[in-house]
Amino acid sequence: MATPALLADTDAARAPHHTMRDRLRTPRRPRLWFEIVLIAVSYWTYSLIRNAVPEQRPEALRNAGWIWEWEHRLGMAFERGVNHAIDSVSWLIVGMNYYYATLHFIVTLGVLVWLYHWHPGRYAATRLALFATTGVALLGYYFFPLAPPRLMSGGHFIDTVVAHHTWGSMASGNLADMSNQYAAMPSMHIGWSLWCGLTIATLARPVWVKVLGLLYPSATLLVIVATANHFWMDAVGGVVCLSFGFVLSCAWYGSLPYRLPKQVAVICTA
């Protein structure tokens, strides 16, 4: 018959050894102060690096011309038609200008707060996907500077913020000097809005909320094209970046963020 000491040694040998990586991968309740500081510092760093990337205007304009040419070859160069058609409806394009300037931040922060409060077990993994998406976009800004359609030479696009004198985009008007004008590829308006849409559509319960979640990135695509801030191919770049973000999150946490437990156990250390 095994002695108590032998049984204890056997149980200890069978017990899992939690490494530092295991502890970091374990979903835990996020700390509010840490998340506020992390999000603020991360966005400040992202903006600093994005705006520090050399604008490379000649190369950015050449790349814009190359994309515009390829879209024509594909028979999908519809941006100018959308831009002119919606610009003719003043109230609609003005609303889109404000949409472009504000909802990008408001909705994303709102979804982060919602996750933090209602899905703490999924928060860190979903936030990692968003942060990785944003981080990898910097590579696109550096290696593929791109002018938005509104800045193309001879593109005949309408810069809707300037044309309608609306407050809004840091890429137009008096705020233009504060933002890199030639960092259009990939579109983080699409990367972030699709992240929000997938998160809402997957985790929200009311069907109407799920539908709104799915409509949000679709509406954002229409807005970025109508305001001549992006080509549709920039949106494809945003989707690629988001895919990378989710792959990285899955690799780290061993599961899609949405499949992790909704809640996390409160561990007593006393």
Q: For the residues 170-181, what does the mean pLDDT come to?
A: 59
Q: What is the pLDDT of residue 257?
A: 94
Q: What is the pLDDT of residue 42?
A: 87
Question: In the structure, what pLDDT confidence band is assigned to residue 48 with cuts at 50, 70 and 90?
Answer: confident
Whether 12 has a pLDDT exceeding 70, the answer reads no
Mean pLDDT estimate for the chain: 86
Q: What is the pLDDT of residue 38?
A: 87
Range in 9-13, 234-238, 241-245 the model is least confident about: 9-13
Highest mean pLDDT of the ranges 146-160, 163-177, 223-237: 223-237
Question: In the structure, what pLDDT confidence band is assigned to residue 220 with cuts at 50, 70 and 90?
Answer: very high
Calpha distance 149→144 (Å, rounded): 15
Question: In the structure, what pLDDT confidence band is assigned to residue 18 with cuts at 50, 70 and 90?
Answer: low
Q: Which residues contact 222 (CB under 8 A, 6 or more apart)?
A: 82, 96
Cα-based distances in Å from 125 to 20, 95, 202: 17, 34, 14
User: Could you read off the pLDDT of 76-114 as tens digits, one per residue?
Assistant: 999 999 999 999 999 999 999 999 999 999 999 999 999
Q: What is the pLDDT of residue 179?
A: 72
Is cis: bond before 257, omega within 30 of 0?
A: no
The structure's pTM equals 0.85
Range in 80-89, 166-175, 235-244 the model is least confident about: 166-175
Q: What is the pLDDT of residue 8?
A: 41
Comparison of pLDDT for 263 and 123, the residue scoring more: 123
Q: What is the pLDDT of residue 268?
A: 41
User: Could you read off the pLDDT of 144-154 as tens digits, one per residue?
Assistant: 999 999 999 88
User: Could you read off the pLDDT of 57-73 as tens digits, one per residue?
Assistant: 889 999 999 999 999 99
Whether 14 has a pLDDT exceeding 60, the answer reads no
Structure tokens at 18: 């939690």
Q: Which of 142, 143, 144, 135 is nearest to 43 (CA)?
A: 135
Q: Which of 120, 175, 152, 165 is nearest to 230 (CA)?
A: 152
Residue identified by tokens 């945003």 is: 238
Q: What is the pLDDT of residue 6?
A: 44
